[in-house]
Chains A and B, each alone.
Chain A
Amino acid sequence: MSENNSAPKETLFSPRNKKLLSEPIGTSNPITVQVLGICSVLAVTVQLRASLVLAIAVVAVMGSANVIISLLRHGIPPRIRIIVQLTVIASLVILVDQVLKAFVYDVSRQLSVFVGLIITNCIIMGRLEAFALQNKVWPSFLDGVGNAAGYGSILILLAAIREFFGSGTLMGYQMIPNFVYDIGYVDNGFMILPPMALITVGIIIWIHRHRDRSLVDVS
């Protein structure tokens, strides 16, 4: 393992650790830059409430999975590490699923299979492989939470756009006043369909790269 034990002790929120948290939200965002975890983004962003719950669930799973794998990192034989990672994620997802069923049953119904599919979310596996296996517990935790937050922020942004234009509501509350409908406005049914989610993600990526030129791939 590549960690350096002789390094001077870092404070909890040293610049390096802050970067672990902030980078995935911006310049190495799992969705808009790495383009991972797209399927759930297209499927569950019809309504803001469901996306918010899924975002929180992913933050919880990813933060804890990174911590657990980081704790176990010296004990995991490299040849079976993928199976160990899957077991850890699956156990956490089952926990989250039970909590959702107990406290927000309707949202859990709405998310249906996508709670279970957190297991296969490539962002989580990717971070375990790329980060938690080689780093200490605290940086791993920050990395997990940061990446999950990067994923969740796009999820929530997308869901807000789609729910607002597709159903005229936010969190289930009507946002577009009735007089707008009276003068002829109609909710955009295309926004509710997955193809428009993909196009909207594309537009978000476009805006992101327009603002941050260093992300533009010139190869």
Chain B
Amino acid sequence: MKALINLVEKVKPNFEKGGRLEKFHRTFEAFETFLYVKGDVTKSGAHIRDAMDMKRTMVHVIIALIPPLLFGIWNVGFQHYRATGEEVAFIDQVLFGLIHVLPIIIVSYASGLAVEFIFASARDHEVNEGFLVSGMLIPLVIPVTTPLWMVALATIFAVIIGKEVFGGTGMNILNPALLARAFLFFAYPSYLSGEVWIETTLQEGQQLVDGFSGATALAVQAAGEGNMPSDFDMFFGFIPGSIGETSTLAILLGAIVLIATGIGSLRIMASVFVGGIFMGLVFNLFAVNDFMALPAYKHLIMGGFAFGAVYMATDPVSASQTGAGKYIYGFLIGVITVLIRVVNPAYPEGMMLAILFMNVFAPLIDHYIVQANVKKRIKRMEKVRLQTQA
């Protein structure tokens, strides 16, 4: 620890004004504050002092992402060996998963951070920490079969168009990780339509088991054919899907971390689930086709519903800010997700589009909530005034 501080102090003069590497002082600052909380504090004005600065907040979200990540890594291996029909040890499954998931994570971080650092230097502002979370979310919401160059392209697109053009971290109106996924979804639909989402590059001597399809539960449901996984498998996540989205259980573990640390909004998470159930039940009333008749609770454990509700919808920047607004925002995400899934056969998954759609509406919801509150208070004041006059 001490040695690290000494090292930082030793190289610091190079980056200060007049130093050899002055141009990179933003980069240096980013790494310095990543290692240690800065010594200098704000001295004037009223401030809330809190150890949870942006970096610590982001680190907590990363911690909350660990359960789905670890499960996802194992599941990639598990699905692969299930497809080839081979019986292998647990450790082999994890290794296979690591080999395929780690490159995606590295590419996502490398390309995203490169853009962040370039913009920070060009605009001379601090390197923001927002990408620490986006860089982890992007690999978790895409299938493991996505080529690496696509991951890099989508990440660069999302960071520039989703965030930097609006002014950087905290200014974005859309969730950058979902924007990356939306980019991939529309640019390379054949890779993201949920048809084959298991890594099936075969080595010599391997072959796929008979009847293997590799389609996700939602794709199976939309097509109306194929093997539907059991509820048990879908809840625990032994199903094909995007890397981090399959296990509802692991996601709920992460949700506990987010709620306990006060980062994720329980209101949003709960109302997304309620909205999904509600719309599912409405469709059950009509039930003119198989998808409409699907039990409402199944929507919550299929596809990316739980992942979106816990990690994406609760993004504090792009979500609704007001208390009552959060209920409306979350509820509508749930409703629209199920609506897209059931009604639009072209989009098997509705979570991504529903959240992006509601991201756009979040400021409008907030506006009306605030205006309603202002009106209520004016009315109350009027009443008090009339009483005092009487």
Contacts and interface: CB of A to CB of B under 8 A. Distances in A.
Contact of A188 (B147, B161, B165, B188): B188
B189 interface: yes
B187 A206 contact: no
Interface in B189-206: 189-191
A189 B149 contact: no
B149 A190 contact: no
Contact of B147 (A184, A193, A202): A184
Contacts of B147: 184, 186
B188 A189 contact: yes
B34 interface: no
B183 interface: yes
Contact of B183 (A185, A186, A190): A190
Interface in A165-219: 184-186, 188-191, 193, 195-196, 199, 202, 206
Max count, chain B CB within 10 A of own CB: residue among A184, A186, A190, A191: A190
B186 interface: yes
Contacts of B150: 186
Interface string B175-189: 000000001001111
Nearest to B183: A190
Contacts of B186: 189-190, 193, 195-196
Contact of A189 (B161, B165, B187): B187
A202 B190 CA distance: 27
Contacts of B189: 189
B315 to A, nearest CB: 21
How would you classify the secondary structure of chain A's contact residues: helix, strand, loop or mixed? helix
A199 B147 CA distance: 24
Interface in B92-106: none
B192 to A, nearest CB: 11
Contacts of A189: 186-189
A190 B189 CA distance: 9
B187 A191 contact: yes
Given A184-B147, A184-B149, A190-B183, A206 B165 contact: yes
Nearest to B149: A184
Interface string A29-64: 000000000000000000000000000000000000
Nearest to B191: A186
Interface residues of B, number: 12
Contacts of B183: 190
Interface residues of A, number: 13
Nearest to A191: B187
A186 B153 CA distance: 12
Contact of A186 (B161, B165, B188): B188
A163 B273 CA distance: 42
A46 B328 CA distance: 38
A199 to B, nearest CB: 6
A84 to B, nearest CB: 42
Contact of A199 (B149, B161, B188): B161
A190 B165 contact: no
Contacts of A190: 183, 186-187
A196 B188 CA distance: 13
A96 to B, nearest CB: 34
A186 B149 CA distance: 10
A190 B186 CA distance: 5
Contacts of B165: 202, 206
Contacts of A193: 186
Contacts of B161: 199
A196 B191 CA distance: 19
Nearest to A186: B188
Interface string B299-317: 0000000000000000000
Nearest to A206: B165
Closest 6 CB pairs of A and B: A190-B187, A190-B186, A188-B187, A189-B187, A186-B188, A184-B147
Interface of B: 147, 149-150, 161, 165, 183, 186-191
Interface of A: 184-186, 188-191, 193, 195-196, 199, 202, 206
Given A186-B150, A186-B190, A188-B187, 7 more contacts: A184-B149, A188-B188, A189-B187, A189-B189, A190-B186, A193-B186, A196-B186
